[in-house]
């Protein structure tokens, strides 16, 4: 299980990115929201989708959930 976060500020394309707690691209406390502990990024992505319409897995830490 890993801790996942979603960015509260969207990317230029409107995506709110989902990151693991240890990702180098995880934003600071003020720009992220804790999603919970999940065994895969898919659960985290679902949780993020409940908060934001447009979500995407981070290319670096959640590549299997990343769509371009």
Nearer to Zn ion, 21 or 50 (CB): 21
Q: Which of 41, 45, 58, 65 binds Zn ion (CB under 5 A)?
A: 58
Q: Which of 5, 7, 19, 48 binds Zn ion (CB under 5 A)?
A: 19
**Residues 60 and 21 sit within 8 Å (Cβ to Cβ):** no
**Residues 19 and 4 sit within 8 Å (Cβ to Cβ):** yes
Least distance to Zn ion, CB of residue 50, Å: 19
Q: Kindly state the DSSP code that residue 43 receives in the 8-state scheme.
A: H
Task: Report the alpha-carbon distance of residue 13 to residue 15 in Å, rounded.
Answer: 6
Binding site for Zn ion (CB under 5 A): 19, 23, 25, 58, 60-61
């Amino acid at each position: 299980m890993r801790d996942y976060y979603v960015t509260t500020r969207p990317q230029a394309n409107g995506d709110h990115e989902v990151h693991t707690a240890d990702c180098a691209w995880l934003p600071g406390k003020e720009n992220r929201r804790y999603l919970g502990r999940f065994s895969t990024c898919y659960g985290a992505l679902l949780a993020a989708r409940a908060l934001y319409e447009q979500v995407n897995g981070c290319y670096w830490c959640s590549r299997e959930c990343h769509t371009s």
